[in-house]
Structure 1
């Protein structure tokens, strides 16, 4: 059965077929998209945090496992990010199709992934807070929301730093603002909106599961 944040979890990768499948599928997906990316240097920049994050999940798995649902949400987000890293977010074909459908000139794939960062990762972050800090209820949701906001804002500052340190062409490719002066604010707002939706839904479902006293 699919384990969730509200139930017990165990670090047993050898018997967890779902986790094995997620790890294998993501590894194959990542390797396929690592071949001949649109901009190799931008691909490397986009993957630096992925290397650190996946390494952290692997290193802490035995002592601090998360639920199957959290790992599933993380894998979906990382797979979507791998697409943006391969094409660069401003050239992703999915965003191009959205532009053709909705009109305009901007490729909105990065907007979608920023929203999905909050939407997909708020639940695993909330679970990490619950299990690591012993905080439950609305407090765990509030802390997870704050972490999403901090991570999203920190990433925007990282992009800004890359523009300052790298050459203008390489830095702007990583920044992906596409001429929007409010790109950072909009990306952060979308991430927090996605997190708010997930945390509200999780809170409502959690309340419904509680037995009436």
Structure 2
């Protein structure tokens, strides 16, 4: 028996609440606005396409977790997040690592939703079901680095350093992409180790034509 899940609505309500709280008095309003351009575009796309393609509740949860982390970075600017300074002190790091953590989370949390999209729409299987989501996540990470640089240069050049969060590291973009790649690889390994937990149904989560199984990822 298949029942309609309200998990996506719950996750969206949580994100709207969390985003609204962090929209109050951000450290730098202009940087906050730039940081939210792509985030709101993603949320809008998910809402607009929800009737045509519904992810599993697990995928929506992973997306929500990433978006919630990004909202924190947007509020403080990535280089000024208090949690990052705390980690910097206890680990004796040379920089605030929060932006690197979120790039790792980008790969770790979003590679599974991408895998689900490819499996359900492109019937991707076997080796390619592991490789393509990883390479796609890495490609998206690189694309976002380029888009961020262009947006910073066109919209607000004076905010470039704060928006990009390079913290003086000329290799920041490459290291961010490497962090995203590491996260994607780790999640892919976990998916391979626990196939029942991360099972992907070929049909929509509440589609009555899908074949019921004893273990589902949503």
Q: Structures share a fold, TM > 0.5?
A: yes
Matched, 1:136 2:125: yes
CA positional deviation for 1:200: 1.8
Cα distance change on mapping 1:166 and 1:23 into 2, 3 Å: closer
Q: Which of residues 18, 37, 42 is equivalent to 1:53? A: 42
Moved more, 155-164 or 190-199: 155-164
> Which of 26, 42, 59 is residue 31 of structure 2 equivalent to?
42
2:169 corresponds to which residue? 180
Aligned to 1:101: 90
Correspondence list, 1:140-155, <5 A: 140-155=129-144
- Within the alignment, does 1:74 sit opposite 2:60 as a pair? no
Aligned length: 199
* Aligned counterparts of 2:9 and 2:111: Cα–Cα separation in 1: 23
Give every structure 1 segment of 4 or more consecutive aligned residues whose post-TM-superposition deviation is greater than 4 Å.
207-210
Higher RCO structure (Cα 8 Å, ≥6 apart): 2
TM-score (norm 1): 0.86
Contact 1:162-1:174 within 8 A present in 2 as well: no
Indicate the RMSD between aligned Cα atoms, in angstroms: 2.2
Determine helix, strand or coil for the equivalent of 1:62: coil
State the partner residue of 1:31: 20
Runs of 5+ consecutive residues of structure 2 not aligned to the other structure? 200-218
Provide the residue aligned with 1:119 in structure 2: 108
Decide which moves more: 18-27 or 186-195: 18-27
Q: CA deviation at 1:207?
A: 8.1
Higher helix share: 1
TM-superposed deviation, 1:19: 2.5
Question: Cα offset for 1:166?
Answer: 4.7
* Corresponding position of 2:77: 88
Choose the corresponding residue for 1:190, options 179, 204, 207: 179
